[in-house]
Amino acid sequence: MRITPLMPNLYINPPKAPTFQSIIRDVRDSNGNIKNSNSTCFYSKDIDWKNFSDYLFRKYQKNDKVNVFSFGCSDGSEPMSLAILLDTHNRYEARKFFPIIAKDNDEFILNRLRSSNVRAYFSDIDKIVEFSDNHLGRYFIIKPQLPENESMIIHPTYELNNRIRYINSDVRKSVNALPSKDTVLMIRNIVPYLGNEAKQEEFINTVTSKLKENCVVVIGDLEEDLGIGQKLEDAGFVPTEIDHVYETKSLSGQV
């Protein structure tokens, strides 16, 4: 990691830089009910990320291409966490997982990433340093700042952005076009925002009917609370050794 010289941080006061982790942009309907919440962070604790990466490389060792989707990607912390993790595990082999297709229907949040430098808290930075094996500078351009802010101004590098394709899209529609084979789908902490129980059910039913062979679904704490893990199992998916990670039943003869 390259530490840049200390200089006044022009981004803090004003104009403020947007922040990773602290966006927490709630979109409410006219009655004040939350329709969407963008809260997210790098390497959230509900996934055992290192084992997840081992698992993906093992599962897809014979594949030339794997289709990876992050639905409800918010500010990109989730697909960026995964891209850095896979890239760090094995740069050459990781190419088959890229680009990660990251979708969100909140244009505001996607534009933030494209247009701004972003403030990351040291807790984010520590995790990125850890999961990138100390290669923060490979994935983020780091801007000068004051140490007492407990944050840094960073911007994803071309190298990182090149591994992810951000698309503004409603995943209730995109779900119909999921490839049936060799697909990894992250639907973490998004299902509660997809409408009433019937709409959520319809979305999960489409997921389970589309993903047929050699596929993986990753859910979040919010989905687990809604019983989505059980619904995946009822539809024939199998829990893996990693919490919140489910896979399609292997066909006979498949490793």
Ligand X SMILES: C[S@@+](CC[C@H](N)C(=O)[O-])C[C@H]1O[C@@H](n2cnc3c(N)ncnc32)[C@H](O)[C@@H]1O
Q: How many CA atoms lie within 13 A of 56 on its CB side?
A: 32
Of these, 18, 72, 156, 229, which contacts ligand X (CB under 6 A)?
Answer: 72
Residue 81 sits in the site that holds ligand X (CB under 6 A): no
Residue 124 sits in the site that holds ligand X (CB under 6 A): no
Q: How far is the CB of 39 from ligand X (least distance, A)?
A: 5
> Looking at 137-145, 147-155, 168-176, 236-244, which segment touches ligand X (CB under 6 A)?
168-176
- In this structure, are strands 164-168 and 100-104 parallel, antiparallel, or unpaired? parallel
Q: How far apart, in whole angstroms, are the C-alpha atoms of residue 25 and residue 74?
A: 10
Residue 189 sits in the site that holds ligand X (CB under 6 A): yes
Residue 9 sits in the site that holds ligand X (CB under 6 A): no
Q: How far apart, in whole angstroms, are the C-alpha atoms of residue 26 and residue 4?
A: 34
Residue 102 sits in the site that holds ligand X (CB under 6 A): no
Residue 13 or 31 having the CB closest to ligand X: 31
**DSSP code for 177:** G
Residue 194 sits in the site that holds ligand X (CB under 6 A): yes
- Token pair recorded at residue 42: 């790098």
Q: Could you give the residue ranges of the DSSP H alpha helices within the chain? A: 49-59, 77-89, 91-94, 107-115, 122-131, 136-139, 158-161, 171-174, 197-210, 221-225, 228-234
Of these, 17, 66, 190, 211, which contacts ligand X (CB under 6 A)?
Answer: 190
> Looking at 35-43, 125-133, 140-148, 235-243, which segment touches ligand X (CB under 6 A)?
35-43
Query: Coil, helix or strand for 190?
Result: coil
Which residue of this chain has its Cβ atom nearest to ligand X in the complex?
A: 72
Residue 78 sits in the site that holds ligand X (CB under 6 A): yes
Residues 76-107: b if buried by 16+ CB within 10 A, e if exposed: bbbbbbbbbbbbbbeeeebebbbebbbbbbbe
**Quick check: 125 and 152 in contact, CB under 8 A?**
yes
Residue 172 or 181 having the CB closest to ligand X: 172
Residue 40 or 132 having the CB closest to ligand X: 40
Residue 181 or 210 having the CB closest to ligand X: 210
Q: How far apart, in whole angstroms, are the C-alpha atoms of residue 224 and residue 222?
A: 5
Of these, 9, 18, 21, 40, which contacts ligand X (CB under 6 A)?
Answer: 40
Binding site for ligand X (CB under 6 A): 36-40, 44, 72, 74, 78, 103-106, 109, 170-172, 188-190, 193-194, 220
